[in-house]
């Protein structure tokens, strides 16, 4: 019972005061898509489509396994997609089709570049 | 998770011929669908990237240097951080409030966001990775002296450490103590001593002696 109690009392993001490792002073320049993802978050907030608090809850709702496995902006974009599905702003099918289109487009560009 | 070296990061070499990854494709797809549905404007992302690029710790350093030089400004800044910044022409692009926390002989301030990565972005830019990772977020509130020691900062036992946990609406900025030996310094000279990490509270402002050291 005590093992599951911790799961109930603390959601994956709620880690203040938890024992943890020494701090590694890591930082990196954002990749172009990460910066676009950050800008997208701000623009979604400006338009009152997804605010900061909703974004945080969206990340939390991914669950501990995904939160631990995905990088920071990977979590954001997956959370945005999920929230937009729940709001019926986008559908999973639409996003899947568009992702195929984007992937095919970048394959075309890379074929053209190799030719 | 991510490498710390600036230019040695393997992803920095991505060329146009390399296929974007799964999450990058997802980002492009979601963005393009939102533009197609006219929920966001096509140019808004690019304009917001320009805003993000314009926000660096130099803005925070200017605020700190002005506060060190102008006691009336400092009083206004401590009363209302956001209004103080706006007085210097630093706009806030979001709805967040800002509380400026003054370090003194008796109190050392440290900022954190235990739940995620809330940070005074309008005045410092984007946070470093370590600020967003578990060790800092979890330990800053429970063992701040040990955390500070890992940054090389030893706070005497008779100095109180106050840790402020940021929220989506309220952000914090540390006003470090003015270093000794800076009498007669200009605002620009003072600002050069103020680093991002000093305004997070993990280190003091640089002393002029350290700046001149080889």
The mean pLDDT value for B125-145 works out to: 97
Q: In the predicted model, is pLDDT for residue B48 greater than 70?
A: yes
| Beta carbons of A23 and B40 less than 8 Å apart | no
Same domain, B133 and B203: yes
- As a whole number of angstroms, the distance between CA A58 and CA A50 comes to 10
| Beta carbons of B32 and A102 less than 8 Å apart | yes
Q: How confident is the model at residue A2 (pLDDT cuts 50, 70, 90)?
A: low
Q: In the predicted model, is pLDDT for residue B84 greater than 70?
A: yes
Among the partner-chain residues A30, A43, A81, the one whose CB lies closest to the CB of B45 is A43
Annotation says B164 is catalytic: no
In a mutational test of the A interface, the residue from B54, B121, B139, B167 whose CB has the highest number of chain A CBs within 10 Å is B139
> Does B29 lie at the interface with A, CB-CB under 8 angstroms?
yes
Among the partner-chain residues B25, B147, B151, the one whose CB lies closest to the CB of A103 is B25
Among the partner-chain residues B2, B37, B151, the one whose CB lies closest to the CB of A28 is B2
- As a whole number of angstroms, the distance between CA B176 and CA B111 comes to 12
The alpha carbons of chain A give a radius of gyration, in whole angstroms, of 18
pLDDT digits (tens, 9 = 90+) for A8-52: 888 888 899 999 999 999 999 999 999 999 999 999 999 999 999
pLDDT at B5: 39
ipTM score here?
Answer: 0.92
Q: How confident is the model at residue B145 (pLDDT cuts 50, 70, 90)?
A: very high
According to DSSP, residue B75 is labeled H
Same domain, B65 and B158: yes
Same domain, B128 and B156: yes
In a mutational test of the B interface, the residue from A14, A22, A23 whose CB has the highest number of chain B CBs within 10 Å is A23
Q: How far is B166 from chain A (nearest CA, A)?
A: 12
Helix (H, G, I), strand (E, B) or coil at A51: coil
Q: How far is B35 from chain A (nearest CA, A)?
A: 11
The answer as to whether B2 is a domain residue is no
Cβ–Cβ < 8 Å for B111, B101 = yes
Helix (H, G, I), strand (E, B) or coil at B109: strand
* Chains A & B: contacts with CB separation below 8 Å: 188
The answer as to whether B201 is a domain residue is yes
pLDDT at B42: 87
pLDDT at B10: 47
Per the DSSP assignment, residues forming a β-bridge with B99 are B172
The answer as to whether B5 is a domain residue is no
| Beta carbons of A77 and B26 less than 8 Å apart | yes
Q: Total structural domains in chain B?
A: 2
Same domain, B17 and B32: yes
The answer as to whether B61 is a domain residue is yes
Nearest to A83 by CA among A115, A44, A113: A44
CB < 8 Å to B34, chain A: 49, 84, 89-90
Annotation says B118 is catalytic: yes
Domain locations along chain A: 29-90
The answer as to whether B3 is a domain residue is no
> Does B31 lie at the interface with A, CB-CB under 8 angstroms?
yes
pLDDT digits (tens, 9 = 90+) for B158-185: 999 999 999 989 999 999 999 999 999 9
Q: How confident is the model at residue A5 (pLDDT cuts 50, 70, 90)?
A: confident
The mean pLDDT value for B81-101 works out to: 94
Q: Which chain A residue has its CA at the smallest distance from B2's CA?
A: A28
pLDDT digits (tens, 9 = 90+) for A58-110: 999 999 899 989 999 999 999 999 999 999 999 999 999 999 999 999 888 87
Same domain, B72 and B104: yes
What tokens does B96 get? Answer: 């967040």
Q: Which of A37-41, A108-112, B76-80, B202-206 has the lowest mean pLDDT?
A: A108-112
Cβ–Cβ < 8 Å for B63, B122 = no
The answer as to whether B1 is a domain residue is no
Which residue range is the domain that position B61 belongs to? 56-212
What tokens does B200 get? Answer: 């997070």
Same domain, B195 and B172: yes
């Amino acid at each position: 019972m005590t093992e599951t109690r911790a799961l109930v009392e603390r959601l994956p993001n709620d880690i203040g005061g938890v024992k943890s490792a020494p701090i590694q002073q890591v930082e990196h320049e954002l990749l172009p898509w990460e910066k676009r993802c950050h800008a997208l978050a701000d623009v979604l907030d400006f338009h009152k489509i997804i605010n900061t608090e909703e974004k945080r809850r969206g990340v939390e709702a991914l669950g501990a396994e995904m939160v631990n496995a995905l990088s920071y902006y990977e979590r954001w974009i997956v959370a945005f997609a999920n929230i937009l599905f729940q709001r019926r702003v986008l559908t999973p099918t639409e996003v899947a089709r568009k992702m195929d289109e984007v992937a095919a487009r970048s394959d075309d560009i890379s074929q053209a570049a190799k030719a | 998770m991510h490498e710390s070296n600036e230019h040695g990061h393997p992803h920095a070499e991505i060329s146009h011929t390399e296929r974007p990854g799964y999450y990058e494709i997802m980002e492009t797809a979601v963005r393009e669908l939102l533009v197609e549905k006219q929920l966001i404007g096509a140019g808004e992302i690019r304009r917001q990237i320009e805003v993000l690029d314009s926000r660096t710790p130099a803005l925070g350093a200017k605020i700190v240097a002005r506060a060190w030089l102008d006691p009336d400004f400092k009083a206004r800044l401590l009363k209302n951080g956001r209004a103080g910044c706006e007085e210097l022409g630093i706009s806030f692009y979001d709805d967040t409030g800002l509380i400026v926390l003054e370090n003194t002989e008796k109190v050392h301030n440290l900022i954190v966001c235990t739940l995620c990565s809330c940070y005074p972005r309008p005045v410092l830019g984007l946070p470093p990775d370590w600020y967003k990772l578990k060790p800092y977020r979890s330990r800053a509130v429970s063992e701040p002296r040990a955390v500070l020691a890992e940054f090389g900062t030893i706070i005497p036992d008779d100095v109180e450490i106050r840790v402020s946990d940021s929220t989506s609406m309220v952000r914090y900025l540390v006003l470090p103590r003015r270093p000794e030996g800076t009498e007669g310094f200009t605002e620009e000279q003072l600002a050069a001593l103020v680093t991002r990490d000093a305004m997070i509270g993990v280190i003091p402002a640089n002393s002029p002696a350290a700046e001149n050291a080889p």
